[in-house]
Structure 1
Amino acid sequence: MATRDQFRPDVEQRHIMAASNSRRDVQSKLWVPMIVIVVVVLQIASTTGLLVFLNMSVAQVTENIISKHAVPEPSAQPRTKPVSSAGHQKPSAHLTLRDSSLQGPISLAPQKDLHQSCRHPVRSWGNQSFGSHLHNMTLSHGRLRIPRSGRYYLYAQVYFRYPSLTHEGGNHHGGTSSYQLVQCVYKKTSYAKPLQLLKGVGTKCWSPDTEYALHSVYQGGLFELRAGDEIFVSVSSPTAVHAEDSSSYFGAFRFDP
């Protein structure tokens, strides 16, 4: 018959095994949340790193785009326009008759190789008035010289101002005074005789009690010109031409690029 002392080792061994199993269960239960926490931390870290990388990439791309399209600061831009030279600026000119004394009087002697209705070249054009200019072209004795071959737009306006017969000291019989006003634009080439490009005509009748008889003739056109051609204006009545920069002018500019 077994005694109580014989059963004691078995009971103690069972208690030890039970305690050991319990510890293993506790440890196994603790590993699961730890693994989950580690996975979550790694996921957060990887997501954060990806966002930082994307933000840096976007910032770099934005900076490159802005630097390519940014307008230079005013201090970096040239304050003055570079001096133009042939080939960099289209030839152009706008000349006026603001003061005819600057380049000599209008010629009163007719030029015989011109059309009989406008044989008096206007020689007193200048570029000293406000708004007038002379770029990459030369002016000599009222003639504009073409520097480069191409298409040019030519224009001219002459302001005629006749004093009435009363102011001239003449006699009149209550009738009207009639004047023929002609303006022409010519091209002088290597040929001896100038070629007429434009012609404007106006026949005006004014009452003798009119203080001044006023009229202007304007014309313009596009022409194919060669380097070395010279352009000038002639009129029918040189003494009636009124020198004023906003009323009597002559110009040209190259139309080709």
Structure 2
Amino acid sequence: MDLNEPYSPTTPRPAGTTVTMKTFLYLTITFVIAQLVGVVLYGLYLHMKLDKVEDEMNLREDFLFLRRLQKCLKPQDAGATLLDCSAILNTFQELQGRSSDVPQKSPIVMQKGEKPTASIHLAGFKDSSQPVSVLQWTEAVYAPSDDAFSYQGGKLKVTRGGRYYIYAQVTFCVKSLLHAPFSVYMYLHLPSETDQLLLKGVRTPGRSDNICSLQSVHLGRVIELQQGHTVFINVTDSSKVNYDHGNTYFGMFELSERNL
């Protein structure tokens, strides 16, 4: 080595070469990650596809088994078929035995001595333009009705004792500037006794400016009734009652021990 040779430092790499290498490295890493994600997604797709194919194969096997069983159960086909009907029938009997071992949900059955519950629903009925002391009713469309009740003259009678829920709604029309309250009363009628007030509902309407303003009063309670007890409803002014469909109704239903 010549000591007199001038020293020259290492020539630095161009900046463009470094940027190119970094870009290539990033692209390579991105490509590898994309490949890995694609492989994972494709694996999931194949797994779901295989599960679906397996389910379809199971359904096809079940269908084929039922077809074979159907042929073996037909007397005219049992002798002509090449199927091993004895093995198929034995498999079917084993399946029946397994299903009988599974505890079944017992249906709700009526216990001995338990009577069925009764119910009735009536719709308001206007049979006179004159005010009446007791509101009149008629059987509502598609509503339950039971022989445990009898109806006459606006009064609903129970033919067997029990615990009942009684309900009623009375809708009335207000065409007055006065603030007169409208009251609804539910009475229990007992033979040879004074009628007993079961429920009372009161509503005081506001101003209506001679336009029919509909208001409703709803009543309901549980009561113990004896055979022959009768329930009826009256109001302060029956001429204001609105009898449009669904506005005014009256009914009751018996509560069984399961409801208590």
TM-score range, shorter chain: 0.5 to 0.7
Displacement of 1:240 in angstroms is 0.5
For residues 127-161 of structure 1, the C-alpha deviation after alignment (integer angstroms, 9 at most, x for no partner) is 0x423332121111111111221110000000111
- Structure 2 residue aligned with 1:100, among 116, 120, 126? 126
Structure 2 counterparts to residues 105-120 of structure 1, below 5 A: 105=128, 108=131, 120=133
Match of 1:229 in 2: 229
For residues 199-235 of structure 1, the C-alpha deviation after alignment (integer angstroms, 9 at most, x for no partner) is 101122314x241132110010011111110111111
Contact 1:106 1:121 in 2 (8 A): no
- Structure 1 residue aligned with 2:156, among 131, 144, 147? 144
Structure 2 counterparts to residues 40-189 of structure 1, below 5 A: 59-64=92-97, 66=99, 89-97=116-124, 99-101=125-127, 105=128, 108=131, 120-122=133-135, 124-127=136-139, 129-136=140-147, 137-164=149-176, 176-189=177-190
Seq. identity, %: 26
Partner Cα separation in structure 2 for residue 177 and residue 107 of structure 1: 22
Partner Cα separation in structure 2 for residue 182 and residue 221 of structure 1: 17
Name the aligned partner's letter for residue 240 of structure 2: A
Aligned residue pair count: 161
When the two chains are superposed, the root-mean-square deviation of aligned CA atoms in Å is 3.0
Q: Which runs of 5+ in 2 are unaligned?
A: 1-85, 103-113
Displacement of 1:61 in angstroms is 4.0
Name the aligned partner's letter for residue 190 of structure 1: P
Residues 107/62 of structure 1: CA separation in 2 closer, same or farther (3 Å cut)? farther
Partner Cα separation in structure 1 for residue 115 and residue 126 of structure 2: 32
Displacement of 1:58 in angstroms is 6.1
Displacement of 1:93 in angstroms is 0.8
Which protein has greater RCO, CA pairs closer than 8 Å, 6+ apart? 1
1:215 aligned onto 2:215: yes
**TM-score, scaled to structure 2:** 0.54
Larger Cα-atom Rg: 1
Displacement of 1:59 in angstroms is 4.1
Match of 1:240 in 2: 240
